[in-house]
Chains A and B, each alone.
Chain A
Amino acid sequence: MSEYTPEEIHHHVKTYVMVFVALAALTIITVSISYLDLGVLPAVTLALIVASIKGSLVACYFMHLISEKVTIYWTLLVTLAFFLVLMFVPLSTMLVQAKV
């Protein structure tokens, strides 16, 4: 178990509440953006940016990634690399597929 003093925990709790507010706000923002007619590319980009911010907030604060150990960082870094490969390499292969 990680060693935190009660003061630190109280401080954490404050952070959690702030993060929660941010998440809620971002949810509302992303929904509102979706009602604007932005066109596909900007809409996708914006939505993914917002989602990534929300995701990072959850990961960094709720999951304490902001102060994690190197082993975990390395594991996740490798995972992230392969995740990106998995997301984009099949796609680019399809896009340059030989077609008549």
Chain B
Amino acid sequence: MDIPFTVKERPDTGLYNGKLGIWLFLASEVMLFGGLFSAYVFLRTGAESWPVGSDILNVPMATLNTMFLITSSVTMVMSWASLKLNDFGKFKMYLGFTILLAFGFLVVKYFEYTAKFEHHLYPSTNNFLGIYFTMTGLHVLHVVGGIIVIFYFLVPGNKMWQSDPDRFVNRIEIVGLYWHFVDLVWIFLFPVFYLL
């Protein structure tokens, strides 16, 4: 006996299990970052003074990074659409781009972090930097997690396309949802830290 609705939707909810699962997971992620954003607002409102992000952080770099993530979100959704159109080659290409862009993001982030450390700006310097490093750091961990999963489906996991294509498409959709969420978080992190 197999667990029902792993591939096909359950008629009354219109969902397959994995999709519901990932949305529930994302709901908890909303609350996780919600807790951190709440901490940010709390600290900032309570602070006597709060630095202007753009004085300390590198806005052009972050803008570049925003572009990277936005683009990677498009390539991600395109790779899913390619699968839907039965174009496995395009799928691999788009997924490859996604990973590349994600690495691009990490590289930029690496330079940003090290530049801060070189100027002796550490998490312990002030609460602005503290919460900046914590939240972007946690976001970076999400990016790394995403890269690992995407890589899995790009290389070792893609055999499922042959054995169980419907399920494979579902999985790509799920990874996509996660990846878009990571992008979405960044869309808020970017103005909150760099621009305000």
Contacts and interface: CB of A to CB of B under 8 A. Distances in A.
Interface in A1-36: 1-2, 4, 6, 9-10, 12-13, 16-17, 19-20, 23-24, 27-28, 30-31, 33-34
Chain B interface secondary structure, helix, strand, loop or mixed? helix
Interface stretch (B32-40, B100-108, B138-146): B32-40
B15 A72 contact: yes
**How many interface residues does chain A have, given as a range?**
35 or more
Nearest to A43: B196
Contacts of A69: 13-15
B31 A83 contact: yes
Interface residues of B, number: 55
Q: Which 6 A-B pairs have the closest CB atoms?
A: A34-B195, A47-B191, A79-B27, A69-B14, A83-B34, A62-B180
Interface of B: 7-9, 13-16, 19-20, 23-24, 27, 30-31, 34-35, 37-38, 41-42, 45-46, 54, 59, 63, 66-67, 70-71, 73-74, 76-78, 81, 84-85, 166, 169-170, 173, 176-177, 180-181, 183-184, 187-188, 190-192, 194-196
Interface of A: 1-2, 4, 6, 9-10, 12-13, 16-17, 19-20, 23-24, 27-28, 30-31, 33-34, 40, 43-44, 47-48, 50-51, 54-55, 58-59, 62-63, 69, 71-72, 75-76, 78-80, 82-83, 86-87, 90-91, 94-95
